[in-house]
Amino acid sequence: MEEGQLVFSIRQCGNVGCGFRFPAAAGSGERCPQCGGATAVVAIPHHKRENAIAHPVSGLHLELLLDNIRSLYNVGSIFRTADGAGVRHVHLAGMTATPEHPKLAKTALGSDSQMGWSYSRNGVDTAVRLQNQGYRLWALEDAPEAVSLYSIKGNELGDGRALLLVVGNENVGVDPAILQRCERILAIPMLGVKDSLNVAVACGIAIYHLLFGKENL
């Protein structure tokens, strides 16, 4: 993205009692956005790593089924996380937008992404077809029969079959016709507020735990 090409610095407002500290692109931010006072450059942001932090590639073949995800923001966010974590394929179904959607095209997949995706109108058909091909079906859902994501043992992941993790609609969750076919239903433990996590955040937690948390399982 073009933003990455800009040089940023960290500036701070010199007004006593304000002190607003914020990143600003070169040539901007000389006035404090909060109080209008004069600001000065106080730090230069660190450079990002050239290469991602190395980690052994997981032996788990993980694919996602995003069924009826309503929010474009959530779809884009899940795509980026899945791409970064090494998910092998993303199946999209129902109302879930594809990376061809104009509002997703720019952010969902990097130009160097290798990750494949496919779309079908009916997520149940997709889940049944993949299950018949030998995929294990797991769902991410706050269902009564769910178990904690963190109760999964490493040997449950390592049986060599591809794992399809199903994520459902923000309002109604995973389609009951898919849920009843799932071997495992995973939930993320929540402290305090009982409302469930944003679906993209929950999906990211699950993806990273299943793919990279193995030595701790």
Give least dist CB 20 to Zn ion, A: 4
Q: Which is nearer to Zn ion, 28 or 180 (CB)?
A: 28
Decide whether 19 or 59 has the Cβ nearer to Zn ion: 19
Comparing C-alpha atoms, which of 83, 173, 94 is closest to residue 126?
94
Task: For the chain, state the CA radius of gyration.
Answer: 21
Residues in contact with 173: Cβ distance below 8 Å, sequence separation at least 6, in sequence order? 141, 142, 143, 179
CB of 33 to Zn ion, least distance (A): 8
Collect all residues with Cβ–Cβ distance below 8 Å to 37 and sequence separation of at least 6: 13, 14, 15, 18, 31
Least Å distance between CB 212 and Zn ion?
41
Instruction: Give the footprint of Zn ion on this chain (CB under 5 A).
Output: 13, 15, 18, 20, 32, 34-35, 37
Phi, psi of 193 (to 5 degrees): -55, 140
- Residues 178 and 92: their CA atoms lie apart, in Å, by 14
Provide the minimum distance between the beta carbon of 157 and Zn ion in the complex, in angstroms, as a whole number: 51
**128: number of Cβ within 10 Å:** 15
| Of 21 and 161, CB closest to Zn ion | 21
Judged by beta carbon, residue 15 or residue 131, the one nearer Zn ion is 15
| CB closer to Zn ion out of 18 and 143 | 18
Instruction: For the CB of residue 16, give the shortest distance to Zn ion in the complex, in Å.
Output: 10
